[in-house]
Amino acid sequence: MSNIPYAEVIGDPIAHSKSPLIHGFWLEALGLAGDYRRAHVTLDALAAFVAERRNDPDWRGCNVTIPHKLAVMDLVDDPGNVRGTIGAMNTLVRQKDGTLIGTNTDAAGFYAPLAGLDLEGAPVAVVGAGGAARAVLFALARAKVGHVTILNRSPLKAMGLLATFGLRGEVVALDAQLPPAALLVNSSSLGMSGHPPLDLDLSPLPDEAIVYDLVYSPLRTGLLQTAEARGLDTVDGLDMLIGQAALAFELFFGSAPPEGRDEELRALLMA
Ligand code: NAP
């Protein structure tokens, strides 16, 4: 046991995770006694890991990444009905009595950079239908967007998500022509290092469209470079990464991250 409060990020693989850098930066900036670690946890070991941490009074909780965002829902309490809404958890928080509460900070982290916009009724296009897409579509449904076009390799999965989130729209192939969407979001792994590129013709998008790529490795993805070349506004994956981490940090350590330090943190994450 560490005797200082700590949280961690669990996944398989986990070496690539930038969460320790983010939480470590905030802990140091605030001068808080605390630690944030990375834990490599395979699916087979997940239940035993959670059971052990539940009994550790120094453990404040963890962030959850691929492939555990669905499996953890069976291991924790769910007072916010995350299972019945977003359908994936990315944060577990230990209460003082050992109760574990699961939540999801991805949806709010995704939406934070868009918060000043009025998306009500706006047509949007979303690439992907995995765990990240669930958070994106949940947030877009709350924003009451209009017609939603999902581009995905597996059409049935994407159709299920439209129904789950009560969205009006359609599912098309990855190589279909884009609609004239006000917002295009890539929530797939395409464009991420080690994955195939995402090749989209952005010409159907209006000049005021926003292109948002959740992929943050690399940060300036091919999609964002193409959008910038067209003069479109862009949002990169670090905004969401920092946004979802900020909400989790407060749940773990009881303090909001320091204000006015985002540029410094972004520079650290890009180094
Ligand atoms: P996931 O659940 O594994 O879903 C992956 C998605 O990408 C699925 O829609 C999948 O299509 C598609 N895909 C993967 N490989 C493909 C290929 N070769 N060809 C066509 N489609 C392919 O992963 P996730 O958790 O949603 O994460 C997706 C991306 O979002 C990752 O790059 C992740 O790093 C990023 N992300 C970023 C943040 C952030 O804070 N910025 C947060 C969460 C996730 P099928 O449905 O057909 O399998």
Q: Which residues pair with 212 in a beta bridge?
A: 185, 235
Cis status of the peptide bond prior to 179, with omega within 30 of 0 = no
pLDDT digits (tens, 9 = 90+) for 72-120: 999 999 999 999 999 999 999 999 999 999 999 999 999 999 999 999 9
Q: Which residues, judged by CB distance below 6 Å to any ligand atom, belong to the binding site of ligand 1? A: 66, 106, 109, 128-133, 152-154, 157, 187-190, 192, 195-196, 214-216, 237, 240-241, 244
Contact 249, 26 (CB under 8 A): yes
Catalytic residue among 18, 69, 96, 157: 69
Give the mutation target among 175, 189, 221, 238 for probing the ligand 1 site: most ligand atoms within 8 A of CB: 189
Closest by CA to 240, choosing from 214, 222, 220, 260, is 214
Nearest atom (ligand 1) to Cα of 153? 47
pLDDT digits (tens, 9 = 90+) for 31-79: 999 999 999 999 999 999 999 999 999 999 999 998 999 999 999 999 9
Nearest atom (ligand 1) to Cα of 129? 9
CA–CA gap between residue 121 and residue 271 (Å, rounded): 39
pLDDT on residue 236? 97
Taking residues 214-240, report their average pLDDT: 96
pLDDT digits (tens, 9 = 90+) for 173-199: 999 999 999 999 999 999 999 999 999
Give the mutation target among 64, 104, 126, 187 for probing the ligand 1 site: most ligand atoms within 8 A of CB: 187
Predicted confidence (pLDDT) at residue 1 exceeds the cutoff of 60: no
How far apart are the CA of 64 and the centre of ligand 1, in A?
A: 15
Helix (H) or strand (E) holding 125: strand 124-127
Arithmetic mean of pLDDT over the chain: 96
pLDDT on residue 3? 83
CA–CA gap between residue 18 and residue 105 (Å, rounded): 16
pLDDT on residue 16? 87
pLDDT digits (tens, 9 = 90+) for 25-36: 999 999 999 999
Instruction: Tell me whether residue 69 is one of the annotated catalytic residues.
Output: yes
Predicted confidence (pLDDT) at residue 248 exceeds the cutoff of 90: yes
Structural domains of the chain, with CATH: 6-104+241-270 (3.40.50.10860), 108-235 (3.40.50.720)
pLDDT on residue 2? 55
Is this structure's pTM higher than 0.85? yes
pLDDT on residue 73? 97
Give the mutation target among 89, 106, 110, 188 for probing the ligand 1 site: most ligand atoms within 8 A of CB: 188
pLDDT on residue 82? 97
Nearest atom (ligand 1) to Cα of 158? 46
Q: What percent of the chain has pLDDT over 70?
A: 99
Q: What torsion do the CA atoms of 255, 114, 92, 156 make, to the nearest 10 degrees?
A: 180
Closest by CA to 138, choosing from 64, 69, 182, 88, is 88
Nearest atom (ligand 1) to Cα of 237? 41
